[in-house]
Amino acid sequence: MMKKLLSACLLSSALLVGCGGEPAEDADAEGCEHLQEGPAVAVTASASSAGAPEVGADHKRYDISLPAGTGGNTGSVSFEADEATDFTFFLSADASLTITSSSGQTVEFESSVKNSASCDTIKGRYVAPLEVGTYTLTFGPSSVSSVSLVIEESGHEHEH
């Protein structure tokens, strides 16, 4: 009986980590570190996707100023995914995030949470499966006038 229980526990823990990915807490530690310590790049989001400034998954914190919009502050930045994989978007403020492909399709998040057990600085964590291409990240409408963003590759590649 003990061997069956141990086997079940080992199988369950293997499934939790699964697919060579890392647990959310480890990803949160990386995102948290960059949200708190930078290096930081100041960016002013554009009111539309046209001419949106570019951000990257380059171990930097992007401090994004959001222009005033209808119903709150809102703005867009551009992100280039250079491989088909999951990306994690860490936010320092409770602002909604929408990701749109260059063809206008809204990307569905694999997961999203408004906090982190291991880091008070994380006010949003969104995991999105992206294909190679350019995406528009739209924040808001929100009552906050700025949000800090860190993008990390999750390390889980997609099959084509």
How far separated are the first and last CA of the chain, in Å rounded?
42
The pairing of beta strand 40-44 with beta strand 61-65: parallel
Radius of gyration from C-alpha coordinates of the chain:
17
For the chain, which residues make up each domain, given as ranges?
23-152
Question: How many angstroms separate the CA atoms of 9 and 119, rounded?
Answer: 28
pLDDT at 38 over 70: yes
> Which residue has tokens 């119903």?
71
What is the rounded distance in angstroms from the CA atom of residue 137 to the CA atom of residue 155?
A: 20
- The pLDDT tens digits for 101-159 are 999 999 999 999 998 888 999 999 999 999 999 999 999 999 999 999 999 998 644 44
Asked if the model's pLDDT at residue 26 lies above 50, the reply is yes
Mean pLDDT score of the chain = 83
C-alpha span between 134 and 80 (Å, rounded):
4
**Please, what CATH class does the domain formed by 23-152 belong to?**
mainly beta
